Amino acid sequence: MSEKKRCGWAWGDENSNMVRYHDNEWGKPCHDERELFELLILEGMQAGISWSIVLNKREAFREAMDNFDYNKIKDYDETKVAELLQNPGIIRAKAKINAAITNAKAFIQIQEEFGSFDKYIWGFTDGKTLVENEPPVPTKTPLSEAISADMKKRGIKFCGPVIVYSYLQAIGIINAHDKDCFCCPIN
């Protein structure tokens, strides 16, 4: 019986959050506004901790934060923030929770300016996916640095070049599947 080869980081059994994320989302072009926002927030939540922890808390985040509805999150007040900080299912970091609120506002402003966040973010590559899977794998690139700087200018928090590089991989602007992974687009 042959087993599917995957990128080295996608460990776990077929039903693990890591493997399902790798197989179904990572590197696949995402054009849905809500999903683009969700992944932006989750990538920021990842700062300093592992992605598997974030993925395992994803459902709890969705429940606690209105399924990442930026129109609701933008209006979260101190009472809501205090409630979230009591929720053991999510990552209880005040700076990150506050950043999600700030980022919801900035996200909406970008939508207003560009028509959609999708147009804004995919505009950096003219809608194209870049395949970047030559080792050594970078943690950031000139593109992620440029987008990071632009996002910062627009008031987005937790969007350093390393986080943005990871985000671009998540939403499929960069496809970084290993050459021997079954998801590699060149196979």
Q: Which residues of 24-47 are buried (b: 16+ CB within 10 A; e: fewer)?
A: eebbeebeeeeebbbbbbbbbbbb
Report d(CA 132, CA 134) in Å as an integer. Answer: 6
**Residue 175, strand partner residues:** 131
Identify whether 43 is a catalytic site residue: yes
Q: Least distance (Å) from Zn ion to the CB of residue 5?
A: 8
Identify whether 120 is a catalytic site residue: no
Q: Least distance (Å) from Zn ion to the CB of residue 132?
A: 13
> Which of 26, 38, 43, 165 is flagged as catalytic?
43
Cis preceding linkage at 138, omega within 30: no
Cα torsion 53, 88, 85, 117 to 10°: value is 40
Identify whether 21 is a catalytic site residue: yes
Q: Least distance (Å) from Zn ion to the CB of residue 138?
A: 16
Give whichever of 133 and 148 is closer to Zn ion, judged by the CB atom. Answer: 133
Give whichever of 19 and 81 is closer to Zn ion, judged by the CB atom. Answer: 19
Give whichever of 159 and 183 is closer to Zn ion, judged by the CB atom. Answer: 183
User: Which residues sit at the interface with Zn ion, rule CB under 5 A?
Assistant: 7, 177, 181, 183
Catalytic residue positions? 21, 43, 51
